[in-house]
């Protein structure tokens, strides 16, 4: 194989695929990326950790000799990054040896036979059922912008604790034209909904838990909000194809699904709130951020005192041997009685960061009850209070 690549485009592709490469594995082939030419004269770069697989199709290449190679991802990324004065780089392979050349540099990397890289079924094979595998039970096409918003507004609330494996991912649920994602770490829950066109296959209800790593990678792949994305769901995998229709396919991400049952999240969402408060997103975000300056590990909560008479919120925090903070905020509207409640400030600012609308609603039922933040009709965020006693 011999190809001449645009260095910047190659680095972007390697940075994305290298994020999928296995960090610790007894199989050194999984620490590599497979670089292969295509019949269309492009370069396909693939990586997998045996749970998630990503293939990027890269243009801006001059294919002088077709072929494929299995190259150590870390060193390839370092070399391509270091050659920052070069507009193009030449990659040439002979057997398991890869030569990378710039104008004044020549690097030799020892790789592995490309045949030792795990097979990655393509999107169409998964949709129709490859080999003995069952065909996908649902195929649908949300716009990249809608899918990105679903990920942004939920992924931040997913659990990072491996002991709670069933929620170490995000629930994706499609039913007809309704598509929603839900994430929780046991202390907060984020839910976002959107509407998509009818599916290409299977409009009935289907749900699965997608690993956080897969969604984080997918988010980086989607640049244009109107770009088509096709999603296929099988019994144990989800596949996302970015591009297609009238545009070339740019990337295909395949991931195993998280096993287990997602918690009954609908039961967690508070109903019939007695107190409803509307506030400006940016004003509240600034106030919470400032109040959080005087908290520590022992006093991570910010106390919020809501006053109906003057429609004001008083935020206060205190860290022993450090100091205190007191901040007042005007509220847009207030329904209900006065209340004092405490929240982890990071949980509040995390939600406000992903909200686009300037007006946000907070619903409360009591000082020891969860708070509910809403934005429009699509975003719902439940957060548990902090006990100060």
Give the chain's mean pLDDT: 92
Q: Do the Cβ atoms of 256 and 52 come closer than 8 Å?
A: yes
CATH, domain 2-116, list 3.20.20.140, 3.90.650.10, 3.90.1150.10, 3.10.150.10? 3.10.150.10
24 falls in which pLDDT band (50, 70, 90)? confident
Q: Is 337 helix (H, G, I), strand (E, B) or coil?
A: coil
| Percentage with pLDDT > 90 across the chain | 80
pTM for the model stands at 0.92
Within 8 A by CB and 6+ apart from 36, the residues are 1, 43, 44, 46, 67, 68, 69, 114
Q: Looking at the predicted structure, is the pLDDT value of residue 230 above 70? A: yes
Same fold, 123-265 and 269-383: yes
Helix pair angle (7-18, 73-82), 10° resolution:
150
Q: Is 18 within 8 Å of 33 (Cβ atoms)?
A: yes
Provide the token pair at 359: 């007006």
Query: What is the C-alpha to C-alpha distance for residues 326 and 363, in angstroms, rounded to an integer?
Result: 22
The pLDDT assigned to 279 comes to 97
Q: How much is the pLDDT for 59? A: 87
DSSP 351: H
**Structural fold of domain 123-265:** DNA Polymerase III; Chain A, domain 2 (3.10.150)
Domain range summary for the chain, segments of one domain joined by +: 2-116, 123-265, 269-383
Residue 267 has pLDDT above 70, yes or no: yes
Say which range, 101-110, 126-135, 194-203, 337-346, has the weakest mean pLDDT: 194-203
Architecture of the CATH domain 269-383 = Roll (3.10)
* pLDDT value at residue 176: 86
Instruction: Quickly state the pLDDT bin for 306 (edges 50, 70, 90).
Output: very high
pLDDT in tens, 281-290: 999 999 999 9
| Stretch 173-186: mean pLDDT | 93
Candidates 274, 270, 353, 280; CA nearest to 313 is 280
């Amino acid at each position: 194989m011999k190809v001449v690549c645009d260095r910047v485009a190659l680095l972007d592709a390697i940075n994305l695929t290298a994020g999928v490469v296995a960090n610790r594995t007894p199989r050194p082939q999984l620490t590599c990326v497979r670089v292969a030419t295509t019949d269309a004269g492009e370069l396909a770069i693939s990586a997998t950790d045996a749970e998630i697989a990503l293939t990027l199709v890269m243009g801006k290449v001059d294919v002088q000799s077709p072929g494929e190679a299995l190259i150590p991802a870390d060193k390839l990324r370092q070399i391509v990054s270091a050659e920052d004065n070069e507009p193009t780089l030449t990659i040439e392979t002979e057997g398991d040896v890869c030569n990378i050349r710039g104008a004044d540099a020549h690097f030799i990397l020892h790789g592995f036979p490309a045949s030792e890289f795990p097979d990655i079924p393509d999107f169409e094979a998964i949709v129709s059922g490859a080999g003995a595998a069952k065909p996908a039970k649902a195929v649908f096409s949300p716009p990249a912008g809608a899918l990105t918003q679903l990920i942004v507004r939920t992924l931040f609330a997913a659990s990072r604790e491996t002991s709670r494996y069933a929620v170490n991912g995000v629930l994706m649920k499609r039913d007809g034209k309704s598509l929603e994602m839900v994430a929780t770490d046991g202390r907060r829950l984020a839910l976002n909904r959107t509407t998509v066109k009818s599916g290409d296959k299977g409009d009935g209800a289907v749900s699965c838990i997608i690993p956080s790593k897969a969604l984080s990678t997918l988010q980086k792949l989607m640049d244009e909000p109107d770009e088509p994305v096709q999603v296929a769901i099988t019994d144990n995998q989800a596949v996302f194809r970015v591009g297609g229709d009238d545009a070339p396919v740019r990337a295909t991400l395949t991931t195993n699904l998280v096993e287990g049952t997602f918690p009954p999240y609908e039961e967690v969402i508070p109903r019939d709130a007695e107190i409803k408060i509307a506030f400006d997103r940016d004003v509240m975000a600034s106030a919470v951020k400032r109040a959080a300056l005087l908290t520590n590990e022992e006093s991570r909560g910010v106390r919020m005192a809501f006053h109906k008479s003057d429609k004001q919120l008083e935020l206060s925090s205190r860290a022993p041997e450090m100091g205190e903070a007191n901040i007042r905020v005007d509220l847009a509207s207030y329904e209900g009685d006065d209340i004092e409640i405490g929240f982890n400030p990071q949980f509040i600012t995390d939600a406000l960061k992903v909200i686009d609308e300037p007006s946000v609603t907070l619903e409360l039922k009591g000082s020891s009850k969860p708070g509910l933040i809403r934005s429009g009709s699509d975003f719902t965020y439940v957060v548990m209070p902090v006990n100060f006693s």
